[in-house]
C-alpha cells in the first residue's frame, strides 16, 4: 500500500493531478470510505485493503467536472463501470487519471462477523497480505481464510484485467471459482410457484432505503423515477402487493444492457437481498437472445437495448 | 376485473395500440362490424415503442387481468424502428415476469396492421378467453389500488 501512496503523492506533487479519489480509513477496521484527497498531506489517511469494495467510478461523474485532473483508483471490475460511464457521456475521460489497482478479491464483513463478534482490529487484508486474516476481538483472536470471506461477486469475477487505465499498480490474484449464471439457472429450474415464494420472501425484506440505486454506477440519471412522489415507491406496500416487486423490476430494467454486473447493489443492501439475481437474469437473457454482451468492456459498443435485428425473437417465445 | 349479472368473471384487458396500425385496425374491425369483447380497454399510444414497461406493470397494479401490446408489423413501423425496440424490451420484461413467478400468459404482443380488422378482433377474442381461463389477477395487483 505504501507504494501506491508514494505514487499518488508523486502525481499530486508534480501537478499531474489536482486531487485523488480513493478510500480513507473508517471508524472501524472494516469500513474504509470513499474520499477525495487534495494534498499529499491528506494521503496519510489513504487506505487500500480487502475492505475497499466500494466502486469509485460513479463519483467520477462529479469529480471530472472539477478543475484539473482527478486520479482515481479503480479495481478491475470498477473499470467496466467507468467505461460504461464514458459510453453514456457521464464522465469526462480527459479529466481522469486512472490507476488500475490490483485485486485479490474483496471481503464481506458480514461473513467475518458470523463467527467473530466484537471486532477491534483486523490485519492481513492488504493486497500483499497473508492467506489468513487475523481478527482481534474483545473475546480473543480469530483466524479466517481470506478466500472464505470473499464477497459473492468475487467468486464470479469477470477477470483481473483492467478495461481502462493510465497505469496499473499491484499484483492481482484470480478469485473466480463459480459459474456466473449458476444461481439464475437454479431459479429457472424451479417451478413458478417456488420462484414466486422465493422472491416474495427476499423482497419482503426491502426497507426501500434506496442504497442499491444510490450506489449503482448505471443509476446516474439526474432525475430518477423513484424520486417522483407519484411513483409511490417511497412507502413500501404490503408483502402481498405487486408494488414490492415493481421497484426491483423497474430498477433492473432501467439498467438492463448497461449493468456491468459490478455487484455493488448486492454488496450495499442492508437487508442482504441478492439483487444481482435480477440483473444477471437480464444479462443472461440478453446473452442468449441477442448475443453475448458485457457492458463496459468496450466503451464504443452499442447497448443491446438500443439496438435490434430483423430476426429478433418474439416476446413470450422461449428460445 | 368485474363480475356480470350471472356472477361470471369478466376479465379487464388493457390493450396498448399504436396509432398508425393497430388502432386503425381496431377501427376497421368496428366499421366492418366485427366484434371483440367489451372487456378490452384500448389505450392509444403513438408507437409500440412508446410503451414503457412501467405502463404494463401499472395497468396490472391497478386491476388489469391481462395486458396486450399491439403495434405495426416489424418493418412497417410509422417511425421505422420503434417496434423493433419494443420487441426487445417486451421480450426481456415478459421473461422477467415469468422469472419472478407471475403468470407469463397475462401479457402478449401482437403485430396488427390497419388492414387487419379481422385479425384484431380474433386476437382480442382469443386473448380474452385466455385471461378468463387464467382467472383474476392476484399476484400483479396492488391492494392500495383496489376500489
Ligand atoms: S469482482 Fe473481481 S475485481 Fe472486483 S473486487 Fe471482486 S475480485 Fe476484485
Ligand atoms: S438496498 Fe436493499 S433494502 Fe435498500 S432499497 Fe435496495 S433492495 Fe431495498
Ligand atoms: S445494477 Fe448492481 S451490479 Fe449492475 S451496475 Fe448497478 S450496482 Fe452494479
Residue B17 is part of a domain; what is its CATH number?
3.40.50
Is B144 within the bounds of a domain? Answer: no
Provide the pLDDT for residue A238. Answer: 64
Alpha helices in A66-191 (DSSP H): 76-87, 109-114, 152-155, 182-189
Mean pLDDT of all residues belonging to chain B: 91
For residues B109 and B73, the answer to whether their CB atoms sit within 8 Å is no
Q: Which residue of A has its CA nearest to B139?
A: A242
Is B147 among the domain residues?
Answer: no
Instruction: Tell me how far apart the alpha carbons of residues A267 and A198 are, in angstroms, rounded to a whole number.
Output: 19
Query: Chain B: nearest CA to A265, how far in angstroms?
Result: 18
Cell 482515481, located at residue: A72
Predicted model pTM: 0.93
Residue A72 CA from chain centroid, whole number: 15
Beta bridge partners of A142: A135
CA–centroid distance, A215 to ligand 2, in Å, is 11
Contact yes or no for B141/B63 (Cβ under 8 A): yes
Is B142 a member of any domain? no
* Residue nearest to ligand 3 atom 6, measured at CA: A216
- Verify whether the Cβ–Cβ distance B57 to A237 is below 8 Å: no
A73: nearest Cα among A103, A28, A39, A107 = A103
**Phi-psi group of A232: left, alpha or beta (phi > 0 → left; psi -120 to 50 → alpha; rest → beta):** left
Task: Quote the pLDDT of residue A246.
Answer: 86
E strands in A138-258: 140-145, 167-169
Q: What is the ipTM, given to two decimal places?
A: 0.91
**CA–CA dist B62, B140 (Å, integer):** 9
Contact flag A198-B101 (C-beta cutoff 8 Å) = yes
Read off the pLDDT band of B147 (50, 70, 90): low
Q: How many domains is chain B built from? A: 1
**Residue percentage of chain A with pLDDT more than 70:** 96
pLDDT of A319: 46
Run of H or E residues at B105: none
Q: Which domain holds residue B128?
A: 2-137
Q: Based on C-alpha coordinates, what's the Rg of chain A?
A: 20
pLDDT one-digit tens code per residue, A184-225: 999 999 999 999 999 989 998 998 899 999 999 999 998 998
Look at residue A149 and tell me whether its pLDDT is greater than 60: yes
A208/A105: higher pLDDT: A105
How far apart are the CA of A224 and the nearest CA of chain B, in angstroms? 14
Could you tell me how far CA A157 lies from the centroid of its own chain? 11
How confident is the model at residue A228, as a pLDDT?
83
> Which of B53, B100, B109 is opposite residue A196, by nearest beta carbon?
B100
The number of C-alpha atoms within 13 Å of A159 and in the hemisphere containing its C-beta is 7
Q: Residues A41-70: pLDDT tens digits?
A: 999 999 999 999 999 999 999 999 999 999
Q: How high is the pLDDT of residue B138?
A: 85
Confidence at A105, pLDDT banded by 50, 70, 90: very high
Average pLDDT (A135-149) is 94
C-alpha dihedral, B51 to B111 to B106 to B17, nearest 10°: 40
Residue A91 reports pLDDT greater than 60: yes
Instruction: Name the band, by pLDDT with cuts 50, 70 and 90, for residue B104.
Output: confident
- Domain presence at residue B143: no
Residue B50 lies in a domain: yes
Hey, is the C-beta of B109 within 8 angstroms of any chain A C-beta? Answer: yes
Amino acid at each position: 500500500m505504501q507504494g501506491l501512496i508514494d505514487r499518488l503523492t508523486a502525481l499530486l506533487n508534480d501537478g499531474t493531478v489536482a486531487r485523488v479519489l480513493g478510500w480513507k480509513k473508517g471508524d472501524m477496521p472494516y469500513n474504509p470510505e470513499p474520499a477525495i484527497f487534495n494534498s499529499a498531506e491528506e494521503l496519510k489517511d489513504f487506505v487500500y485493503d480487502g475492505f475497499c469494495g466500494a466502486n469509485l467510478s460513479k463519483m467520477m461523474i462529479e469529480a471530472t467536472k472539477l478543475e484539473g485532473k482527478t486520479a482515481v483508483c479503480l479495481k478491475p471490475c470498477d473499470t467496466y463501470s467507468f467505461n460504461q460511464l464514458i459510453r453514456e457521456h457521464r464522465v469526462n475521460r480527459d479529466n481522469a487519471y486512472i490507476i488500475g489497482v490490483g485485486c485479490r478479491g474483496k471481503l464481506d464483513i458480514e461473513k467475518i462477523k458470523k463467527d467473530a463478534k466484537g471486532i477491534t482490529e483486523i490485519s492481513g487484508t492488504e493486497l500483499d497480505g497473508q492467506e489468513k486474516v487475523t481478527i482481534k476481538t474483545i473475546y480473543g483472536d480469530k483466524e479466517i481464510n481470506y478466500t472464505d470471506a470473499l464477497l459473492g461477486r468475487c467468486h464470479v469475477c469477470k477477470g483481473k484485467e483492467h478495461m481502462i487505465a493510465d497505469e496499473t499498480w499491484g499484483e492481482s490474484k484470480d478469485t473466480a471459482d463459480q459459474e456466473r449464471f449458476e444461481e439464475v439457472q437454479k431459479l429457472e429450474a424451479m417451478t413458478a410457484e417456488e420462484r414466486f415464494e422465493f422472491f416474495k420472501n427476499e423482497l419482503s425484506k426491502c426497507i426501500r432505503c434506496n442504497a442499491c440505486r444510490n450506489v449503482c454506477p448505471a443509476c446516474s440519471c439526474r432525475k430518477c423515477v423513484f424520486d417522483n412522489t407519484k411513483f409511490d415507491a417511497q412507502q413500501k406496500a404490503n408483502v402481498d402487493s405487486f408494488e414490492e416487486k415493481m421497484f426491483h423490476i423497474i430498477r433492473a430494467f432501467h439498467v438492463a444492457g448497461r449493468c456491468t454486473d459490478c455487484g455493488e447493489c448486492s454488496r450495499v443492501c442492508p437487508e442482504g437481498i441478492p439483487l444481482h439475481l435480477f440483473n444477471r437474469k437480464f444479462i443472461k437473457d440478453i446473452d442468449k437472445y441477442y448475443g453475448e454482451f458485457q457492458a463496459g468492456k468496450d466503451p464504443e459498443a452499442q447497448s443491446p437495448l438500443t439496438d435490434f435485428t430483423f430476426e429478433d425473437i418474439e416476446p413470450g417465445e422461449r428460445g | 376485473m368485474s363480475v356480470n349479472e350471472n356472477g361470471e368473471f369478466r376479465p379487464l384487458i388493457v390493450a396498448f395500440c399504436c396509432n398508425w396500425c393497430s388502432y386503425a385496425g381496431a377501427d376497421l374491425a368496428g366499421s366492418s362490424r366485427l366484434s371483440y369483447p367489451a372487456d378490452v380497454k384500448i389505450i392509444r399510444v403513438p408507437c409500440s415503442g412508446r410503451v414503457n414497461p412501467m405502463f404494463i406493470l401499472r395497468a396490472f397494479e391497478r386491476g388489469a387481468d391481462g395486458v396486450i401490446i399491439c403495434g405495426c408489423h416489424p418493418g412497417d413501423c410509422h417511425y421505422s424502428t420503434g417496434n423493433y425496440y419494443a420487441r426487445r424490451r417486451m421480450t426481456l420484461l415478459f421473461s422477467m415476469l415469468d422469472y419472478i413467478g407471475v403468470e407469463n400468459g397475462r401479457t402478449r404482443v401482437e403485430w396488427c396492421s390497419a388492414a387487419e380488422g379481422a385479425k384484431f378482433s380474433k386476437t382480442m377474442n382469443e386473448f380474452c378467453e385466455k385471461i378468463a381461463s387464467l382467472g383474476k389477477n392476484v399476484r400483479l395487483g396492488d391492494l392500495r389500488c383496489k376500489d
